[in-house]
Amino acid sequence: MIEPTIIGTSVNLNKAYKNFFRDKSVGFPKFKSKKSNYYSYTTNNQNGTVCIENGYIKIPKLKSMIKIKQHREFNGLIKSCTISKTPSNKYYVSILVDTETNNYLK
């Protein structure tokens, strides 16, 4: 079985090359250096693998739920989440949510 992270990485790479060949002003794709001290991991929400319940988040490949400080409430479907580690050893989770938009008339 192919890992979802490898699939996500190859999708991002394919999108970068398509954008480059379609529009030359975009520029050649840049790759992250292994020497960088900013680490991140992105996972897609497939069949409800990412969920938030009672101040905890469930992420695939982790056996237990992780306690979080949720700054904003959201309504909608979780599309993906990115876990980032800063050089000061702090972790942050960014969640991409698909919501319905209300089009207001002016």
User: What rounded mean pLDDT belongs to the chain?
Assistant: 81
Q: Do 54 and 91 fall within a single domain? A: yes
Q: Do 77 and 65 fall within a single domain? A: yes
27: which 2 tokens? Answer: 């520029």
What is the reported pLDDT for 1?
A: 43
What is the reported pLDDT for 106?
A: 64
pLDDT for 35-85, tens place per residue? 766 788 888 887 888 888 888 988 887 788 888 888 888 888 888 888 888
Number of domains in the chain: 2
Q: Do 43 and 65 fall within a single domain? A: yes
Is residue 43 within 8 A of residue 8, CB to CB? The reply is: yes
Residue identified by tokens 């698909």 is 98
103: which 2 tokens? Answer: 């089009």
What does the alpha-carbon distance between residue 56 and residue 76 come to, in Å, rounded to a whole number?
17
Q: Do 16 and 63 fall within a single domain? A: no
pTM score: 0.66
Q: Do 97 and 56 fall within a single domain? A: yes
Q: Do 39 and 25 fall within a single domain? A: no
Q: Do 40 and 90 fall within a single domain? A: yes
Residue ranges with strand state E in 21-76: 39-44, 51-53, 56-58, 66-67
Q: Do 38 and 71 fall within a single domain? A: yes
Q: Do 44 and 9 fall within a single domain? A: no
Q: Do 76 and 92 fall within a single domain? A: yes
Domain, as residue range, for 67: 33-105
Beta bridge partner(s), residue 98? 77
